[in-house]
A and B are shown apart, each in its own frame.
Chain A
Amino acid sequence: MALSAEDKCNVKEFWEKLGENTHVYGTEALVRTFLSFPATKTYFPHFDHSSGSPQVQAHGKKLAAALTLAVSRLDDLPEALSSLSDLHAHRLKVDPTNFKFLSHCLLVTLARHHPGNLNPEVHASLDKFLSYVSSVLTSKYR
């Protein structure tokens, strides 16, 4: 399910509206993921998983920055995320199912904060974008 020109446009426009708050959303998405899908915490055994935890906030910021980079490089995502792909394949080894949980919780977070902008068409484009990012991040697993 490749990103169409319209998808890319929807994703870029939506992401621009998030402005300087992306780190807040990254953090909230993580908190939601840990609460709704507790098995995801197994990848962060050393974390305080509660909202407000400085570790979760720092990680949420990292996540947000990676997604912002991805949005700016929609035409060459595998290249843009190459070192992150390496990291996930050779060091982190996060089971691929978990990307779906995080992507879902990110969409929930964005719906909660920007309901007016997340109409079904934009939602579809973002869902495709997050699937694509997830598949790039797991592309070197085997």
Chain B
Amino acid sequence: MATSTIKFCVWFLLIVFVDYGCLTSPESEAQSFFQSGHTNNWAVLVCTSRFWFNYRHVANTLSMYRTVKRLGIPDSQIILMLADDIACNARNPRPATVFNNANQHINVYGDNVEVDYRGYDVTVENFVRVMTGRLPESTTKSKRLQSDDRSNILVYMTGHGGDGFLKFQDAEEISSIELADAFEQMWQKRRYHEILYIIDTCQAASMYHKFYSPNIVAVASSQVGEDSLSHHVDPAIGVYIIDRFTYYLLDFLEKVQPTSQNSLGELFQVCPKSKCISTVGWRTDLFPRDIDKVLITDFFGSVRNVELNVTTISLEKPNRTPKEGITRSKKSQSQLKYAEQFPKYYKEDTKQVSFSLDHVNSVIWRMYLKDR
């Protein structure tokens, strides 16, 4: 008998303590909405080539731009660097458009593309400046990467590359060591929480071999010694219009919505050797989380954490003097009308105009005579 009562007491106490524990943690409500460790998302999309025959690189970048925008990252948090010489190129049979598919269904250079660095501004220097934040003070807000220690950044680069370097606009190159140093500078100032680095060039894997800063996961379209190939040619336009790796990436991303639960692990497997011909490689040793559990929307979209407002402050209504009420009503009474199209003095007599000209003339004569 005694043991059964003891058992009952123990269970009762346990239940009471468990309930007590649940009640005294108001923070646990907020915790459930904070699923990720980041609060904002940025994207840096760089197309490093120019000239008409590199149409596919521009199409790659613009397609990624569209995807990233569709999944929620606003323009103010996307830095797009393009040479932007394709849409209005004299050789473009469909002017003001850039397509990423031979069926020409989507014009990726649509109505609201905001290019932050265009033309000859796409240089290694500007890229490193954007990443490290060392821009001149006169730079506008839209050209700055204003990330903080809780920002996830997607960096996508495409163009022509080689073993340990990436060619910028046929004039200069960025080496893998410079890129790694730029990321380290960002880490020193905690300018990112996590970075996803995607690169679609020849021998792309060489660019991520030298990274040494934490929280970076990188995927490349080809290994050292391999070339990345393009997908198909559009006979109507006359150039290759999309690269294989990016084509299969976009194919996968089209099905992703802001509420999707697809993981990065799935994204890295979209292009096996049979489809991509080059071997896709990735680097996850610097990344603390398991890529099969990282959501794609952590980098490609912008799903923010929320916290419900449980308590509010109560304020008192201040005493307003009646005088201010009167001035307000006076303002609203004044009628709005169109401004005069021509300035007043223009409409008046031309005599006055000539008078003023004569006046000016006489003043000048007087000044001239004074000098003499």
| A and B held together in a complex | no
